[in-house]
């Protein structure tokens, strides 16, 4: 309703109003913590809803209902639904960063072996894996708000895998004429395709095992010829 959209959600209004009282009773830090907590709740609810229903089939009202606030309450924290989607994708990326190699740089084939660990990890977090699969597929449609994000993400992924393959080639683990660009595309395609198959039939599809087999086969096809 128009009246709901014209005012922030009730509890957020209370948080703002609290700032009118004595600073000692309502410190700015407490208000900021409340706001950050509420944003986190909204993002987590949106992540689940977008994964289950897709971006276009999800409404702010149903996301708000999961959090126990109004749609206007969401718009108090995120100005638009597109902005909320951007934050959901950023949060999903941060999960990957926090899980990755504990800050240690992986070089050459060691990085490719880490991709097998990533596939295994994805099989333990179906919600995040489903979100990525649904959003990446939807992003190819005209004017989808996540299209540029996914385009940039795939560019970055190809560069990372290509860099690892180039390192492997430079230290003699692959042939000098190995096509690292094409191989990087193939590895990413297999991993993303496996996610869809696994989501549809998790009892049959072993993402880590198939990723391992695929990378091993590609590396073997590019291995230096024995003298």
Instruction: Provide the 10 A C-beta neighbour count for residue 77.
Output: 20
Q: Is the pLDDT of residue 74 over 90?
A: yes
Could you read off the pLDDT of 10-21 as tens digits, one per residue? 445 444 443 444
pLDDT digits (tens, 9 = 90+) for 96-126: 655 655 556 778 898 898 899 989 999 998 9
The DSSP output letter for 143 is T
In whole angstroms, how far apart are CA 152 and each of 139, 159, 182? 12, 11, 18
CB 186: neighbour CB atoms within 10 A? Answer: 15
- Residue 7, pLDDT > 60, answer no
| Percent of residues, the chain, with pLDDT higher than 90 | 67
For residue 4, pLDDT beyond 80: no
Find the radius of gyration of the CA atoms of the chain: 22
Question: pLDDT, tens digit, for every residue of 170-219?
Answer: 999 999 999 999 999 999 999 999 999 999 999 999 999 999 999 999 99
What is the SS3 assignment for the chain? CHHHHCCCCHHHHHHHHHHHCCCCCCCHHHHHHHHHHHHHHHHHHHHHHHHHHCCCCCCHHHHHHHHCCCHHHHHHHCCCHHHHHHHHHHHHHHHHHHHCHHHCCCCCHHHHHHHHHHHHHHCCCHHHHHHHHHHHHHCCCCCCCCHHHHHHHHHHHHHHHHHHHHHHHHCCCCCCCCCHHHHHHHHHHHHHHHHHHHHHCCCCCCHHHHHHHHHHHHHHHCCCCCC
Tens digit of pLDDT for each residue in 179-190?
Answer: 999 999 999 999
Above 70 in pLDDT, residue 93?
A: yes
Q: Considering only CA atoms, which of 49, 128, 103 is closest in space to residue 81?
A: 49
What average pLDDT does range 122-135 have in this prediction? Answer: 92
Average pLDDT, the chain: 85
Measured distance CA(122)–CA(118) in Å, rounded: 6
Return the pLDDT at 104. Answer: 64
Least confident of 43-47, 53-57, 97-101: 97-101
């Amino acid at each position: 309703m128009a009246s709901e959209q014209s005012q922030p959600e009730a509890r957020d209004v209370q948080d703002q109003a609290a700032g009118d009282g004595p600073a000692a009773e309502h410190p700015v830090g407490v208000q900021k913590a409340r706001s950050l907590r509420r944003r986190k709740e909204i993002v987590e609810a949106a992540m689940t809803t977008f994964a289950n229903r897709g971006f276009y089939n999800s409404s702010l009202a149903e996301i708000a209902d999961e959090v126990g606030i109004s749609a206007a309450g969401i718009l108090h924290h995120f100005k638009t639904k597109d902005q909320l989607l951007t934050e959901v994708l950023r949060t999903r990326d941060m999960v990957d960063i926090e899980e990755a190699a504990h800050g240690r740089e992986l070089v050459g084939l060691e990085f490719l072996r880490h991709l097998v660990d990533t596939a295994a990890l994805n099989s333990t977090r179906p919600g995040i894996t489903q979100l990525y699969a649904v959003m990446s597929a939807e992003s190819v449609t005209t004017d989808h708000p996540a299209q540029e994000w996914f385009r940039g993400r795939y560019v970055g992924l190809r560069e990372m895998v290509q860099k690892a393959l180039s390192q492997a080639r430079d230290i003699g683990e692959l042939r000098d004429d190995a096509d690292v660009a094409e191989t990087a595309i193939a590895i990413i395609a297999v991993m993303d395709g496996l996610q869809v198959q696994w989501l549809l039939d998790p009892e049959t599809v072993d993402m880590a095992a198939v990723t391992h087999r695929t990378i091993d086969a590609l590396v073997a096809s590019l291995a230096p010829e024995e003298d």
